[in-house]
Structure 1
């Protein structure tokens, strides 16, 4: 007898008619109250959103870089495009 692989998937915890993905999707659609994301997943996503928001705040509060302030007419870019 083969050993079952350990998984965090909810699919293995649910006994359904055939075990096919289509049946599982139908079961999830019919029983939304029984299917909820794990606490671990929710915490992870919350942390990711906080980190992303912090990075966005840092980006927006950074001073703009003077990349193109020396050449404002843009002649070099026009010459490169006309081949």
Structure 2
């Protein structure tokens, strides 16, 4: 008769929040109202996003190539003039 393998992890068996990462993730998922970023972290991220957007716009303005919507080719006859 074979023995049952012992499990080393008790994370799945724990019902209370013990401070372990898996338990904290489960608690955070169950209680989204109690989880909020600190004002300092939120301000830091907001500033990072602003600077990233500004640098992206600057890069697009500097490296972007504008394509003409209606090229001015005089060599190509228009189809409307051939209909008459």
Superposed CA offset, 1:16-66 (max 9, x none):
6322111111111111100011111110111001001111111111156xx
Q: 1:61-80 alignment to 2 at 5 Å?
A: 61-62=61-62
TM-aligned CA distance change 1:57 to 1:33, over 3 Å: same
Superposed CA RMSD: 2.1
Q: Which residue of 2 aligns with 1:59?
A: 59
Larger of the two Rg values belongs to structure: 2
The list of structure 1 runs, each at least 4 consecutive aligned residues, that deviate by more than 6 angstroms after superposition, is: none
Structure 1 residues 28, 62: closer, same or farther in 2, change over 3 A?
Answer: same
- 1:34 correspondence with 2:34: yes
Separation in 1, partners of 2:17, 2:56: 47
Per-residue displacement from partner, 1:4-24 (whole Å, max 9, x unpaired)? xxxxxxxxxxxx632211111
Point out where structure 2 has 5 or more consecutive residues left out of the alignment.
1-15, 65-84
Alignment length (residue pairs):
50
1:21 aligns with 2:7: no
Aligned 8 A contact 2:17 2:23 in 1: yes
